[in-house]
A and B are shown apart, each in its own frame.
Chain A
């Protein structure tokens, strides 16, 4: 069985500062990794995903994530955040064996202060 741990439940940061949201996973098979964002009172939308190949994945809104197999991590980064990045971020894993079911982490609330 796979699992996902997001190491920070809340991350406060000032506007234009860099941010890293941490995600660790466990799985006994090859994984596919995803980051989703949820803006207040909305559904989830995909930021980026890692399937294979380059370990650095670029997504929408200037976000990127790095897949590290040895450390079983998939941390999300942005070099300069904006007020509009305030949202909850979810890391998720699919092991490719069960009709693409996703296992989600607990979520990290990113709050960007002016």
Chain B
């Protein structure tokens, strides 16, 4: 049982390049989330998917798109990377959309945009 996995672990992009961050969970969870972590700012929600087939914007969605490919997988795409998107990206999942459930986090992707 791997939990939440993310690929790649590290990535360096040039300004204007595109890339997709992959996330998969094997816990049969319905809800999945993408966060970014910046020093002194905690984690901020980019997008979330309450269930398969639905996606919604979080606090900082500009410059990102997401796809809930199936129940297991939730990808985050940067169409035209900017230096302001240099960050550590975390994917998380939980059983339902309920507020009391625990979110389980992946190990993160460290992205640098030059």
Instruction: Report whether A106 and B41 are in contact in the complex, using a CB–CB cutoff of 8 Å.
Output: yes
Give the contacts of B3-56 with A (CB-CB under 8 A). 4, 31, 33, 40-45, 48, 50, 56
Instruction: Report whether A101 and B105 are in contact in the complex, using a CB–CB cutoff of 8 Å.
Output: no
CA distance A43 to B2 in the complex (A): 13
A90-B42, A106-B40 known; A99 vs B101 contact (CB < 8 Å)? no
- 30 CB-based A-B contacts, threshold 8 Å: A4-B42, A6-B42, A9-B40, A32-B99, A34-B102, A42-B108, A43-B4, A43-B90, A43-B105, A43-B106, A44-B92, A44-B105, A45-B105, A51-B100, A90-B42, A95-B99, A96-B98, A97-B99, A99-B56, A99-B97, A100-B94, A100-B96, A100-B98, A100-B99, A100-B101, A100-B103, A102-B103, A104-B42, A105-B42, A106-B41
